[in-house]
Chains A and B, each alone.
Chain A
């Protein structure tokens, strides 16, 4: 593969070539792609800095958590890179302009880049009473979403609210809040849930789309498999404690201080699919993610778990295959090693038997010879 032409990135963004390639390698690793893909990514980013794929970003009912989490992606100069790499035509939080001005810009962008732009939806969409509970520029979020989705090249629902409804959809759901896929029937909506979602899952998905022109492999809930393919329970650093039956039973008790499993405190890791234990948060290492810092997983990414199940209630353990270290029904305990005392005792017994046999043989010989003598 030819060397990526990174001069443009270096000049425009003030990122060193080394830092830039490091970033690309990290993103490729997040998706489980080989090293060559990192160069491919770098090439695409360097080129797209000139071509600039258009992004339109909508906000519904939410706390702006996904935008905040993206701004906190801690790789050096990441936010500058990502915000300059794409052409962010419309983003209600980050736009400098306001009012009719930006709305016009959005409409223009949709018309100019129809079929090519990337639509990112953040926040749930209220549907009750015609969707009047969330309005932007005198139009409902529902209408905004459906209009923007009509000509989008790809749609990404970022955060739990956009993915499946999140907090706004929790009972009693007064606004009829729904996830993006529910109001966009027939469209493929990539879901990247989380509250907040992990920025790297988003970045990796976007870069995959920009680089290869396709979306990464998705599961049956349209979540990228590289990020949501496994249970938190499967990769959790506290898993050995679960397997050995060591549980914290209340905050601050002996088990909690020892870093034992948090299942009894209501950890939802056993029924939540996410890569949190592998990617962690904020790029500072040291187990910086909820379970790592001693709080049970809340299941924020999982529909029907986060904001639905009580925080400290026990989760359903969705083990796919049972651990192979467990004994089967038929297995019996194998013979155990002999202890020193037993060996000595057994040795003495064997010695006694041998000795007695020897004496018996000798005595028998003597008797036989006596008999022979007397016979003769």
Chain B
């Protein structure tokens, strides 16, 4: 084989694999009975009942900063915080749900992606998507501590316990991890149960999408009876004036969609949501990698190339000795 032929062959192989990237797997579909939550920022009054309930359910200590020991002062998600209420404010910050000179609250917790990046990048099976409920769960017995998942998540959700010598990954598992299992017992998540205004609403992804779409059709200023707790059988209702929603349900399509949906009157990029395409990163990267390694094509090509180089060098040296 000539050098030219080798390069041609290698190029063809690479081209073949590159063209087959376009045919890589599509986004995963939502789990058939996917459970999720709808966070409506226009309803959130910033009471942090969800934060304190989350800590109670998950047995996590408050994050104490300075001498303010009477408050949980968690700044962001961490090994001790799976759910946190953050504040958007601009200028005078005197009008709720207003982008300029306004403020609003935003919930940060696992979005439970339909096509999760953390599950895709996990080299073992420590992170799994439940086939029926779609809940992304963590299994410490499988985890090798590589922390790829903390990089693979667009929302900065999986957190490693850096302060613990035997640290593990901590993330929201929809209150359904072993020992808690609220969903399996027919209960809702702790945060949805504690929320006084229905800003965090529990339900199946389909029901929540219907509810979210209904809210987007409402006229700002009208009175709407907001359900609290579980959208399927609310434990109370809450009459409130409809805010001027952004015409966008975050999580309907972002990177393949999420089971936790967000609604807001302030644009989502102002609330720290990353710009995401509809195509999930997991489907692209898995497409590339699985194509490269399918039928051992790339290793085979590399082997052929190496064999040729070795063969040529050997021949040359033999020729030298002949001379």
Contact = CB atoms under 8 A, between A and B. Distances in A.
Given A245-B49, A322-B103, A339 B163 contact: yes
A240 B271 CA distance: 26
Interface residues of B, number: 51
A245 B50 contact: yes
Interface stretch (A28-36, A155-163, A185-193, A312-320): A312-320
A247 B74 CA distance: 20
A317 B197 CA distance: 11
Nearest to A321: B93
Contacts of A325: 68, 71, 73
Interface string B191-229: 000101100000000000000000000000000000000
Given A246-B52, A336-B163, A319 B46 contact: yes
B72 A244 contact: yes
A82 B250 CA distance: 63
B76 interface: yes
A331 B196 contact: no
A354 B165 CA distance: 20
Interface residues of A, number: 39
A91 interface: no
A326 B85 contact: yes
Nearest to A331: B75
Considering residues B51, B68, B96, which has the most beta carbons from chain A within 10 angstroms of its beta carbon? Answer: B96
A250 B162 CA distance: 40
B65 interface: yes
B197 A327 contact: no
Given A247-B196, A314-B197, A337 B72 contact: no
Nearest to B77: A333
A328 B52 contact: no
Contacts of B194: 245, 247
A317 B48 CA distance: 14
* Residue with the greatest number of chain A CB neighbours at <10 A, chosen from B87, B94, B106: B87
Interface string B161-174: 01111100000000
Contacts of B272: 329-330
A80 B306 CA distance: 110
B238 interface: yes
Nearest to A309: B239
Contact of A333 (B51, B75, B96, B106): B75
Contacts of B52: 244-246
Interface in B59-86: 63, 65, 68, 70-81, 84-86
A329 B106 contact: yes
A94 interface: no
B74 A314 contact: no
Given A245-B49, A333-B74, A341-B164, 10 more contacts: A244-B52, A261-B47, A263-B45, A263-B196, A317-B46, A322-B93, A327-B75, A329-B88, A331-B75, A331-B86
18 contacts: A244-B72, A247-B47, A316-B241, A317-B46, A320-B94, A322-B46, A322-B93, A326-B85, A327-B75, A327-B87, A328-B88, A329-B106, A333-B75, A333-B76, A333-B81, A338-B163, A342-B164, A344-B165
Interface of B: 45-53, 63, 65, 68, 70-81, 84-89, 93-94, 96, 103, 105-106, 162-166, 194, 196-197, 238-241, 270-272
Which 10 pairs across A and B sit closest by C-beta, in order of nearness? Answer: A245-B49, A326-B87, A245-B52, A329-B272, A245-B48, A333-B78, A317-B45, A327-B75, A333-B76, A264-B196
Interface of A: 240, 242-247, 261, 263-264, 270, 313-314, 316-317, 319-323, 325-339, 341-342, 344-345
